[in-house]
């Protein structure tokens, strides 16, 4: 793969060295991909404004020796309003983290990409996002994601939030980070499935 252009949604970003970052994307054509963005921590980086969470980005990814390299990015669409609610951020973060934990690199799935894209759009359009609606969206996304990945929960589990939480935790490698933030913010109960 000399270079590839594809639509992507940013799942995770971590610092990589002094001026670079390691990005994890879920892409339309390549599935989950990790790519190094050289110099993206610098404030004058041309890519900074395009590499946002809760947005669709057109990426140009080049094959590197050890990691893919981020060669370009153009923001296609943002799913959240300019000032999202805390509940929208938590629910969107949960969706990104679930996709990151439950998928493996380089296994493309167009339906999974569209599920994530559509779900983020729905969460971003909800104003205000009530506690009940937040729980419904989370439950629906979790069941659809697990089903798409081949872990379809039985009907009795899919409709019971406590059972669904236990079922989901069996398939996770580690506790979700967003769960700690929800607890710290005093919003326990807003994400009942995690």
The residue extents of the domains of the chain are 3-78, 86-184
**Stated pTM of the model:** 0.91
pLDDT per position as a tens digit, 149-166: 999 999 999 999 999 999
Residue 62 makes CB contacts below 8 A (sequence gap 6+) with 2, 3, 4, 68, 69, 71
Return the ∠ at Cα 103 (arms to 100 and 106), rounded to 5°: 110
86-184: in CATH 1.20.1440 = yes
- CATH code for residues 3-78: 2.40.50.140
Rounded to whole angstroms, how far apart are CA atoms 109 and 104?
11
Evaluate whether 3-78 and 86-184 have a shared fold.
Answer: no
Tell me what the mean pLDDT of segment 120-127 comes to: 91
129 contacts 88 by C-beta, under 8 angstroms? yes
pLDDT winner (highest mean) among 1-5, 23-27, 157-161, 165-169 = 23-27
């Amino acid at each position: 793969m000399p270079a590839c252009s594809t639509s992507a949604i940013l799942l995770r970003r971590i610092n990589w060295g002094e001026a670079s970052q390691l990005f994890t994307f879920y892409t339309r054509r390549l599935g989950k991909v990790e790519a190094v963005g050289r110099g993206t921590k610098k404030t004058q980086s041309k890519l900074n404004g395009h590499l946002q969470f809760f947005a669709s980005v057109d990426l140009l990814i080049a094959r590197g020796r050890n990691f893919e390299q981020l060669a370009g990015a153009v923001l296609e669409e943002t799913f959240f309003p300019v000032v999202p609610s805390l509940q929208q951020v938590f629910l969107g973060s949960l969706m990104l983290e679930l996709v990151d934990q439950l998928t493996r690199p380089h296994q493309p799935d167009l339906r999974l990409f569209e599920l994530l894209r559509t779900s983020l759009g729905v969460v971003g359009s909800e104003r205000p996002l009530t506690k009940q609606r937040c729980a419904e969206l989370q439950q629906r996304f979790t069941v659809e994601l697990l089903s798409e990945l081949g872990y379809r929960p039985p009907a009795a589990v899919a409709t019971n939030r406590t059972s669904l939480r236990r079922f989901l935790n069996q398939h996770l490698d580690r506790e979700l980070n967003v769960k700690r933030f929800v607890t710290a913010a005093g919003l326990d109960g807003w994400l009942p499935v995690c």
